[in-house]
A and B are shown apart, each in its own frame.
Chain A
Amino acid sequence: MAESLLIVFLKALLLAVALLGAFAYMTLIERRILGRMQHRIGPNRTGPFGLLQPIADALKSIFKQDIMPARADKFVFVLAPAISITFALSAFGAIPGGPAGSLFGLDPWVVDLDIGLLYVLAATSMGVYGIFLGGWAANSKYALLGSLRSAAQIISYELGLGLSVLTIIMIAGTLNLREIVEVGVWSVSPWLWPGLAVAFVTFVISGIAEVNRTPFDLPEAEQEIVAGYLTEYSSIKWALFQMAEYVNMFTAAAFMSTLFLGGYKGPAFMNALIPGSADWPIVWLVAKMAIFMFLFIWLRATLPRLRYDQLMRFGWIYLFEVALGAALLTGAVIAFVL
């Protein structure tokens, strides 16, 4: 069903607004969960359960002084947060939210691309420029260290990400995210489960590294390099980077759900309880994303940060080889067993 450009535009706008709203409340949820995990209370003073805290934070960010470092590269300094948020928001567009036509007769996605999987990888790989250039343009040694770490980290872990995705591509035989969900990679053959399980683990680990979350948050390690690439940013530009980070987390969570956990499809037993409920759009994707978002927060509360050399060794010596092994195993199963 070809939809008019206006509808696509409105859906994209709605998605962007939804993602940014979700970002605001994700910060609150994260702080509350972290507080509970660390035996403290967390923000609970601003409104009931602290529900007005994101609004207070947003107002504070807007009214803070916007500082431009004297020796910064001004053009790139302003460009960097814009790049970050643009590519973060555009990456989500290809992720399908439900079966065709299920959203009040409309398709619950912004674009249905034949190369949707590659599109998400491409958009997220462009997002690194924001962090990278922001750290460089600030003309500060801490910011530069943060951006160098970020570039090295993202390049290294993209390999693990790409190889884990290869397993999915070989099984599904398509790059279209909606078709990958419809194929249902786990239902193809039990022989493929070992490869898939390993690929799932390596994919989640590389995904966390790609979005710079603990234990891979070296680009902004506050105990070593102040705040890394964020050191010189303040006010709304800082908030844009935060937005991009959380939107990237949402994208990573949605991408993991779509590739490995059946994406927008609900569990089959739900159809027995409420007929047709497994086909509800958006609901199941959001539920699965919530699991991963909780995992990200849980890991942040649990694990210490890796050292730089540990990060590189883990990425190149272990993750890369294990993901490659899973891809080879899956290829061998498809070629010789099935």
Chain B
Amino acid sequence: MATFVVLAVVMVVGALGVVLLKQPVHAALSLVGTLLALAVTYVTLEAHFLAAVQVIVYAGAIMVLFLFVLMLLNVQDAGPRRSLPGLRWAAYAAAVVTATAIAVVAFWDGRPAPDPAIVSLHLQGGSAGGIGDALFGELLLAFHLVGVLLLTGVIGAVALVQRRAESAHGAPKGGGLPGGRTAAAGGARALGSGGPR
């Protein structure tokens, strides 16, 4: 319990940092700290596989990309911007409602907690085997649907990049480079270190 309290404090402070820090890179770092604390929480719950994947995917890959974009564009604190009137208060209200809803579910909902023995039996020591059985067994359809969803996102991103590339250069690129390559070549040009010669 003491471990959880410490981790919870770290996570809440980190999450507040994401929202409140002015420098975008600091905010992103704060998010990395939050994600790591969440991974440690998974470890304390014996969900080792989930913890490792959390670190590899979120902290190791997604946040690195976030920071990459922040640094590449050199995003600075632009100060107050034009926005919809009352947006700030709407955001506050939404935060309060969400927090209340979570608190109600967490503290006042009368459902009994599942038996720890059954939970740990199904977790199978938190390793990949148990999760694999669940994902490729009873949740197979949902798993495949999520795969299709991700593929849709990737195709959408490629389509967006292609259109930008065409309009930026005035003439459509023949042959249709794969998206990854376009992005990589774009990165090379932005860095000014290689690029097509």
Contacts and interface: CB of A to CB of B under 8 A. Distances in A.
Interface in A267-322: 307-310, 312-313, 316-317
Interface string B1-35: 00000000000000000000001011001001000
A145 B55 contact: no
Contact of A151 (B36, B68, B127, B185): B68
B181 interface: yes
A46 B175 CA distance: 60
| SS class, residues of chain B in contact with chain A | helix
Contact of A152 (B55, B68, B127, B181): B68
A64 B25 CA distance: 30
A113 B48 contact: yes
Contacts of A224: 193
A176 to B, nearest CB: 8
A133 B29 contact: yes
B187 A152 contact: yes
Contacts of B23: 73
Contacts of A183: none
Contacts of A218: 193
B181 A316 contact: yes
Interface stretch (B56-64, B91-99, B161-169): B56-64
A182 interface: no
B22 to A, nearest CB: 12
Contact of A312 (B64, B127, B188): B188
A308 B49 contact: no
A126 to B, nearest CB: 6
Interface stretch (A49-57, A116-124, A249-257): A116-124
A248 interface: no
A128 B64 contact: yes
Contacts, number: 108
Interface string A121-149: 11101101100110010000000110111
B88 to A, nearest CB: 28
Interface residues of B, number: 36
A151 B49 CA distance: 25
A313 B195 CA distance: 11
Interface string A98-117: 00000000000000011100
B65 interface: yes
B181 A129 contact: no
A308 B188 contact: yes
A154 interface: yes
Nearest to B54: A122
Given A151-B64, A155-B65, A118 B53 contact: yes
Given A115-B49, A132-B67, A175-B127, A126 B29 contact: no
Given A125-B61, A133-B29, A316 B71 contact: no
B26, B60, B68, B127 — most chain A CB neighbours (10 Å): B60
Interface of A: 73, 76, 113-115, 118-119, 121-123, 125-126, 128-129, 132-133, 136, 144-145, 147-149, 151-152, 154-156, 158, 175, 218, 224-225, 307-310, 312-313, 316-317
28 contacts: A76-B25, A114-B125, A114-B127, A115-B49, A118-B53, A122-B52, A122-B55, A125-B56, A125-B59, A125-B61, A126-B59, A129-B64, A132-B64, A133-B29, A133-B67, A147-B71, A148-B71, A151-B65, A151-B67, A152-B184, A152-B187, A307-B194, A308-B195, A309-B195, A310-B194, A312-B187, A313-B181, A316-B181
